[in-house]
């Protein structure tokens, strides 16, 4: 099976690249807007701007993948709020390009989406929960989902929550790495106690996408971690695991921060469907921290 990954230089894209190359039954076609961040040993790599319709048609028509996993997106929530045209182009127009190319090449499209399509008023969410975004990033990702769902192609939508992990390019951080680095530098950090998530190890998200790909599983799947925690809890548990000074972590709430985009307060995911249909089983948060500790060595 030939699997094409868009956004292969991102955190999820890198984990998918590594995973697919390990699988003897899968052939990797990695694509990204910039040169490959990881060495591609057995697969292929192409420069690809997913917002460029002609490039998408050419690369997908040339490589003829059986499955396309779209991890490319504009994900910086505040940036999406202030740069709406760029956000729509990356998160909606690009999806339209991929849907067209999937149809032309009879490929199964897996589109990665987000918990930020919800307003955060419901404690735990399954795949039937009603989306109601409260920021422009969420609006754009929901619009991208609708492009996929309203198409006539074979598709999966993978929704995920607060992804963390170690990446080759450490210029983009995530909550675990930010807490660890800040405390190691002796910095005091303010962490909110009123935003709750089921944080997702990047390797687990990659595995969920891969399982959906090899099964060509149709429909929406929640892929996240299984521990439901506040951001403050995540920070404390990270400090405890790495033996860092948690007195530097100051508990606060989201009303103390002024940000361009609102955040949904609670977006925990119920992952029963992914477990039953895909055979997905995530690490616990502590197990995820062990994976990170090993990689940082």
Is pTM beyond 0.85 here?
yes
Is residue 171's pLDDT more than 70?
no
pLDDT in tens, 57-110: 999 999 999 999 999 999 999 999 999 999 999 999 999 999 999 999 999 999
Give the pLDDT confidence score for residue 141 in this predicted structure: 98
pLDDT in tens, 12-40: 999 999 999 998 789 999 999 999 999 99
Structure tokens at 122: 């419901």
Tell me the average pLDDT of the chain: 96
With cut-offs at 50, 70 and 90, classify the pLDDT of residue 297. confident
Residue 207: φ, ψ to 5°: -65, -40
Question: How far is residue 154's CA from residue 160's CA, in Å, rounded to a whole number?
Answer: 20
- Using the CB atoms, write b or e for 249-280: b if 16+ within 10 Å: beebeeeeeeeebbbbbbbbbbbebbeeebeb
pLDDT in tens, 132-152: 999 999 999 999 999 999 999
First to last CA, the chain: 33
Residue 44: φ, ψ to 5°: -120, 155
In this prediction, residues 177-200 reach a mean pLDDT of 97
Give the pLDDT confidence score for residue 24 in this predicted structure: 79
Domain architecture of the chain: domains with CATH: 2-166+201-226+268-283 (3.40.50.720)
Give the pLDDT confidence score for residue 170 in this predicted structure: 59
In this prediction, residues 100-127 reach a mean pLDDT of 97
Is residue 288's pLDDT more than 70?
yes
């Amino acid at each position: 099976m030939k699997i094409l990954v868009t956004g292969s230089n991102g955190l999820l894209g890198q984990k998918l690249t590594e995973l697919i190359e390990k699988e003897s039954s899968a052939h990797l076609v990695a694509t990204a807007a910039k040169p490959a961040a990881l060495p591609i040993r057995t697969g292929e790599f192409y420069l690809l701007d997913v917002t460029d319709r002609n490039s998408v048609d050419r690369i997908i028509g040339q490589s003829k993948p059986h499955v396309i996993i779209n991890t490319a997106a504009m994900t910086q929530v505040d940036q999406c709020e202030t740069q709406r045209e760029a956000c729509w182009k990356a998160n909606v127009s690009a999806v339209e390009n991929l849907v067209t190319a999937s149809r032309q090449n009879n490929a199964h499209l897996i589109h990665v989406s987000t918990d930020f399509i919800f307003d955060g008023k419901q404690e735990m969410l399954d795949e039937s929960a009603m989306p109601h975004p409260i920021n422009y990033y969420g609006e754009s990702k929901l619009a991208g989902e609708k492009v996929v769902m309203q198409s006539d192609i074979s598709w999966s939508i993978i929704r995920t929550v607060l992804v963390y992990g170690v990446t080759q390019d450490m210029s983009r951080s995530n909550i675990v790495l930010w807490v660890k680095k800040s405390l190691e530098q002796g910095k005091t950090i303010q962490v909110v106690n009123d935003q709750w998530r089921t944080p997702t190890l990047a390797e687990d998200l990659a595995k969920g996408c891969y399982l959906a790909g090899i099964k060509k599983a149709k429909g929406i799947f929640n892929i996240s971690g299984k521990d439901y925690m506040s951001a403050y809890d995540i920070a404390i548990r990270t400090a405890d695991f790495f033996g860092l000074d948690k007195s530097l972590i100051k508990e606060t709430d989201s009303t103390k921060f002024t940000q361009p985009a609102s955040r949904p307060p609670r977006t925990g995911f119920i992952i029963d469907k992914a477990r039953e249909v895909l055979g997905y089983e995530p690490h616990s948060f502590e197990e995820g921290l062990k994976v990170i500790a090993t990689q940082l060595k």
